[in-house]
């Protein structure tokens, strides 16, 4: 009997996913190389010891030149359009090494309407607004590279606050997000040393450096991120701490994480995250699920994290030393474990649930890393992360002891009420860590609405169903004529976003116009038939508007969507608990 188109696609995607599985049973994935990471890393090596690292510096410079766009600019990833940040940092690195293309100089001149300190500083600060997480390090790097001649207008970061207890940080309205404390310290100290001296502030340098050393993971890479690690390294060198242990470990991380082609990714990998996505996409198709479940359990944090002060019980985005526990990955691990163990309760589940309960903000939503910061974008409660947490609680609540179950239900009610308030009049939600670089504002309400709607439809609660119905109406209204979806209405369609929308709408069963779903399916099948289904799509956002693509997003998102479509083909009456285990 000839296989259907749907079964052929499922078989193809499952094969592509399973062949990327690592020997330890997990998935590592592959993040796109980054012009920003490469420029920052090359400059950090250059300022630390340009002779010692000459070979890596030259390979990095060659990669930058070979990935420069025709107008002399760079995008965040090789698949990205021109980007101010990537171009300015590449310009700074090439300026320091004496190899700036004239096209790049002209691009910077046109973008900032001039090349003076004032033009560049004003342009960078206006682009990033009140959040100095990335703008201050960018400007400091430009100053170290000689692109900016004066330090006077570069913001001073309050590095001395780092010596206070972490629980007090939320009260200081810090100009950086919670996970950027290493940059707060290193950039702040360098900026202080280049400005007016102050005896009180001077006295905080040594204790702040001790905090920086304590925050650094064993492999030297802050958050497993080359940009953050590179910024810390160059600032330490610029402050006269070139031989400091923290500096040398940071440099070692950069030399260890460079790719063969001379580039660096935005982060080492998202192993825990893409493993959870893979489990959700494969469901009962996974061989030896008990072993994979044990591997996921082993990656839970078993100690209070020195970086954020988070208690044990959460999961981070990778199992590497620089990872930090966060809500999305903890929820993802809990959902994956429910699939792999068929709902068999264990202590890791209890600790994970408690970890998420302790993270919930006073508004009822769930943030990424730290409770109560709430001022800057990447520390606020997020609808998609809240919905993910809600789903994990829903799956496990009946296995909890009565007291913990009661807390869970109360927490879920608060989440639902917050999400109801956050839902826009058109039914949409904005996500936190995903966007669309083709959209005018670079945001992706389609992703936020699709993923949130998908999770809500798996939860048996009247308000959940009501919000999901409004979300589905938004998705139907924003479908493009080709059957796909971009990040927002009239934005070019993408496999990743179409897959997320299809998964959400398919779960509505017979409540959705079948024509909408069929067009979405046809869009994905046409991509498959033209061998374009797995083309990289930078929809991921790292800190401060930095784009990346991850090869497993296309595979896992599309596989999940096609399976959801097949469920709809076979039965319109399958309940949500059966659907999640497909």
**SS3 assignment for 121-165:** HHHHHHHHCCCHHHHHHHHHHHHHCCCCCCCCCCCCCCHHHHHCC
Indicate the DSSP class of residue 83.
-
Q: Which of 223, 128, 142, 144 is nearest to 181 (CA)?
A: 223
Q: Rounded to an integer, what distance in angstroms lies between the CA atom of residue 155 and that of residue 94? A: 24
Q: Which of 527, 551, 528 is nearest to 538 (CA)?
A: 551
* Percent over 70 (pLDDT), the chain: 93
pLDDT band at 316 (very low <50, low <70, confident <90, very high): very high
Over residues 310-324, mean pLDDT: 93
Question: What was the pLDDT predicted at 118?
Answer: 94
Question: What was the pLDDT predicted at 399?
Answer: 96
Please give the backbone phi and psi of residue 494, each rounded to the nearest 5 degrees, phi first: -140, 150
Q: Rounded to an integer, what distance in angstroms lies between the CA atom of residue 311 and that of residue 210? A: 22
Kindly state the helix (H) or strand (E) to which residue 444 belongs, with its residue range.
none
Q: Rounded to an integer, what distance in angstroms lies between the CA atom of residue 374 and that of residue 219? A: 30
CB 462 within 8 A of CB 471: no
Q: Using one digit for the tens of pLDDT, what is the confidence trace for 251-306?
A: 999 999 999 999 999 999 999 999 999 999 999 889 899 999 999 999 999 888 77
**CB within 8 Å of 543: residues ≥ 6 apart:** 133, 134, 177, 179, 180, 225, 228, 378
Q: Which of 262, 261, 235, 245 is nearest to 53 (CA)?
A: 262
CB 160 within 8 A of CB 151: no
CB 189 within 8 A of CB 181: no
Question: What was the pLDDT predicted at 177?
Answer: 59
* Percent over 90 (pLDDT), the chain: 81
Judged against a pLDDT cut of 50, whether residue 455 lies above it is answered with yes
Across 126-139, b (16+ Cβ under 10 Å) vs e yields ebbeebbbbbbbbb
Question: What was the pLDDT predicted at 245?
Answer: 97
Question: What was the pLDDT predicted at 430?
Answer: 96
Over residues 238-260, mean pLDDT: 98
Task: State the residue for tokens 């330490």.
Answer: 236
pLDDT band at 378 (very low <50, low <70, confident <90, very high): low
Query: Range with the lowest mean pLDDT among 19-33, 117-131, 499-513?
Result: 499-513
Question: What was the pLDDT predicted at 582?
Answer: 37
Question: What was the pLDDT predicted at 579?
Answer: 40
Over residues 332-353, mean pLDDT: 97
Please give the backbone phi and psi of residue 382, each rounded to the nearest 5 degrees, phi first: -130, 135
Task: Determine how β-strand 264-265 pairs with β-strand 546-548.
Answer: unpaired
What domains are there in the chain, each with its CATH number?
1-30+457-582 (1.50.10.20), 33-265 (1.50.10.20)
Residues forming a β-bridge with 277: none
Average pLDDT across the chain, whole number: 92
Q: Which of 392, 391, 388, 383 is nearest to 365 (CA)?
A: 383
Q: How far is CA 140 from the centre of its chain?
A: 24
The CB density around residue 284, as the number of other CB atoms within 10 Å, is 10
Query: Range with the lowest mean pLDDT among 8-17, 420-429, 562-571?
Result: 562-571
Judged against a pLDDT cut of 80, whether residue 580 lies above it is answered with no
Question: What was the pLDDT predicted at 176?
Answer: 56
Q: Rounded to an integer, what distance in angstroms lies between the CA atom of residue 30 and that of residue 154? A: 35
Q: Rounded to an integer, what distance in angstroms lies between the CA atom of residue 229 and that of residue 219? A: 11
Q: Rounded to an integer, what distance in angstroms lies between the CA atom of residue 308 and that of residue 217? A: 13
Residues forming a β-bridge with 21: 27
CB 335 within 8 A of CB 280: yes
Cα end-to-end distance, the chain, whole Å: 23
Q: Using one digit for the tens of pLDDT, what is the confidence trace for 517-572?
A: 999 999 999 999 999 999 999 998 876 578 999 999 999 999 999 999 999 888 65
pLDDT band at 511 (very low <50, low <70, confident <90, very high): low
Task: Determine how β-strand 264-265 pairs with β-strand 540-542.
Answer: unpaired
CB 214 within 8 A of CB 222: no
Token pair for 432: 């936190």
Kindly state the helix (H) or strand (E) to which residue 288 belongs, with its residue range.
none
Question: What was the pLDDT predicted at 581?
Answer: 36
Question: What was the pLDDT predicted at 175?
Answer: 54
Q: What are the helix (H) ranges across 478-540?
A: 495-506, 514-529
Helix (H, G, I), strand (E, B) or coil at 73: coil
């Amino acid at each position: 009997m000839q296989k259907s188109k749907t079964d052929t696609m499922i078989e193809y995607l499952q094969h592509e996913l399973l062949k990327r599985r690592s020997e330890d049973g997990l998935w590592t994935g592959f993040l796109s190389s980054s012009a920003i990471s490469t420029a920052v890393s090359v400059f950090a090596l250059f300022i630390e010891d340009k002779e010692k690292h000459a070979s890596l510096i030259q390979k990095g410079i060659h990669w930058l030149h070979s990935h420069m766009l025709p107008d002399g600019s760079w995008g965040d990833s090789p698949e990205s359009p021109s980007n101010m940040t990537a171009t300015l940092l590449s310009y700074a690195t090439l300026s320091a090494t004496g190899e700036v293309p004239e096209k790049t100089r002209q691009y910077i001149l046109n973008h900032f309407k001039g090349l003076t300190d004032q033009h560049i500083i004003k342009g960078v600060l206006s682009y990033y607004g009140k959040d100095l997480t990335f703008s201050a390090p960018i400007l400091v790097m430009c100053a170290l590279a000689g692109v900016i001649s004066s330090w006077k207008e570069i913001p001073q970061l309050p590095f001395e606050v780092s010596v206070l207890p972490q629980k007090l940080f939320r009260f200081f309205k810090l100009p950086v997000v919670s996970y950027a404390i290493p940059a707060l310290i290193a950039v702040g100290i360098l900026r202080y040393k280049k400005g007016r001296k102050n005896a009180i502030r001077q006295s905080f340098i040594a204790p702040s450096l001790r905090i920086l050393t304590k925050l650094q993971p064993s492999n030297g890479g802050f958050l497993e991120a080359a940009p953050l690690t590179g910024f810390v390294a160059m600032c330490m060198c610029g402050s006269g701490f070139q031989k400091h242990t923290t500096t040398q470990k940071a440099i070692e991380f950069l030399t260890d994480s460079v790719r063969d082609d001379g580039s660096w990714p935005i982060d080492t990998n998202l192993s825990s995250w893409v493993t959870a996505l893979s489990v959700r996409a494969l469901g009962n198709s996974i061989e030896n699920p008990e072993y994979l479940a044990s591997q996921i359990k082993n990656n839970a944090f078993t100690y209070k994290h020195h970086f954020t002060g988070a208690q044990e019980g959460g999961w981070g985005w990778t199992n590497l030393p620089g990872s930090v526990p966060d809500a999305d990955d903890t929820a993802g691990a809990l959902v994956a474990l429910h699939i792999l163990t068929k709902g068999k309760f264990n202590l890791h589940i209890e600790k994970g649930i408690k970890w998420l309960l302790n993270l919930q903000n006073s508004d009822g939503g769930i943030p990424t890393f730290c409770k109560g910061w709430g001022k800057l974008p990447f520390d606020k409660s997020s609808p998609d992360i809240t919905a993910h947490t809600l789903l994990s609680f829903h799956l496990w609540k009946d296995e909890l002891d009565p007291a913990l179950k009661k807390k869970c239900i109360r927490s879920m009610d608060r989440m639902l009420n917050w999400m109801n308030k956050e839902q826009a009049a058109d039914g949409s939600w904005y996500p936190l860590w995903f966007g669309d670089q083709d959209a005018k504002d670079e945001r992706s309400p389609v992703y936020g609405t699709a993923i949130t709607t998908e999770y809500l439809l798996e939860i048996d609660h009247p308000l959940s169903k009501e919000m999901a119905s409004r979300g589905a109406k938004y998705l139907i209204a924003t479908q493009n004529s080709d059957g796909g979806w971009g990040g927002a209405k009239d934005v070019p369609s993408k496999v990743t976003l179409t897959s997320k929308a299809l998964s959400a709408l398919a779960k509505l069963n017979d409540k959705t116009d079948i024509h909408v779903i069929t067009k979405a399916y046809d869009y994905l099948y046409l991509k498959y038939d033209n061998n374009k289904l797995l083309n990289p799509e930078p929809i991921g956002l790292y800190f401060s508007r930095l784009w990346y693509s991850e090869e497993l997003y296309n595979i896992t998102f599309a596989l999940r969507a096609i399976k959801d479509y097949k469920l709809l083909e076979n039965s319109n009456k399958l309940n949500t608990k059966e659907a999640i285990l497909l």
